[in-house]
Structure 1
Amino acid sequence: MKTFLKILLTAVAVIVLANILQGVAVTGYLSAIIVAAVIALLNMFVRPLLIFFTLPATLVTFGLFIFVINAIIIMLADKLVDGFAVDNFWWALLFSILLSIFRSALFSLLKDDKKQLDKL
């Protein structure tokens, strides 16, 4: 249930960011949910491999290369989902940074709700 809720919150963030950023487009709510699920799957399976293979670059840049890996994940989601489009690498980089910020804020709301429920 919590995973499904996280995917829905990520879909909301994708819709909001697609409306804010010119270089990112999403055709509808269903596409946003599919994008969120695809990003979750790519983060689960592809991202660890990319981090492993680019470990020297990540170490040399003190972890900043992770932003490039996140942009690559977004561009892969663009190729896999028909209703989602990112114009170029720079829009994908900006989208991935803002998506991380939005997801952190939204997921922190989930943790606060859990703490309040535990008090009851």
Structure 2
Amino acid sequence: MRLLLLWILNAVALLAVTWLLPTIEIAGFGTALAAALVLGFINTLVRPVLTLLTLPITVLTLGIFYLVLNGLLFWLASALLPGFQVHGLVSAMVGAILYGVIAWALSALVPPSRG
């Protein structure tokens, strides 16, 4: 049940990002749910591999490249989903940061699972 609630809150966070940044567009709540799911899969499966592969450049740039990587993965999610558009890499980077902050704040409202 907690996972379902977090998924919905991530979709709400994505809608909040589209409200804050006019360069990111989403068709509706259904598309936001799909985008949150795709972002979850990308963050779970693709990000660890790319983080490991780009570790040397991340170290050389003192971590700045990690922001670029986040933006690229956010942009990838928009390329995979019709109805979710990100216009430019800078918008993707800012959108990824906002999405992470808003999703973190909303997930803090959910009580931890008991078990």
Establish whether TM, by shorter chain, passes 0.5.
yes
Aligned partner of 1:109 in structure 2 is: 109
The structure with higher relative contact order (CA 8 Å, sep 6+) is: 2
Segments of structure 2 that go 5 or more residues without pairing to the other structure are none
Supply the distance in 2 between the matched residues of 1:98 and 1:17 (Cα, whole angstroms). 6
For this pair of structures, how many residues does the alignment match? Answer: 114
Partner of 2:17: 17
Structure 2: distance between partners of 1:96 and 1:61 = 19
Paired amino acid for 1:66:
Y
Which structure 1 residue ranges, 4+ long, deviate > 4 Å from structure 2? none
Cα deviation for residue 42 of structure 1 reads: 0.2
- CA 1:58/1:32 → structure 2, altered by over 3 Å: closer, same or farther? same
Q: Percent identity?
A: 32
How do residues 47-86 of structure 1 correspond to structure 2 at under 5 angstroms? 47-86=47-86
Amino acid at match of 1:14: L
Quote the offset at 1:3 in angstroms: 2.0
State the superposition RMSD in angstroms: 1.5
Q: TM-score, normalised by structure 2?
A: 0.92
Question: How many angstroms does 1:105 deviate by?
Answer: 0.7
- Of Structure 1 and Structure 2, which has the larger fraction of its residues in helix? 1
1:60-108 residue CA offsets vs partner (Å, 9 max, x unmatched): 2222221111101111101111010000001000100111110111111
- Point out the structure with max Rg over C-alpha: 1
* Corresponding letter in the other structure for 1:96: A
- Distance in 2, Cα, partners of 1:42 & 1:114: 24
Per the TM alignment, residue 6 of structure 1 is displaced from its structure 2 partner at its CA by 1.4
Alpha-carbon separation, structure 2, partners of 1:109 and 1:63: 29
Where does structure 1 lack aligned partners over 5 or more consecutive residues? none
Q: Assess, with a 3 A threshold, how the Cα gap between structure 1 residues 114 and 54 changes in structure 2: closer, same or farther.
A: closer
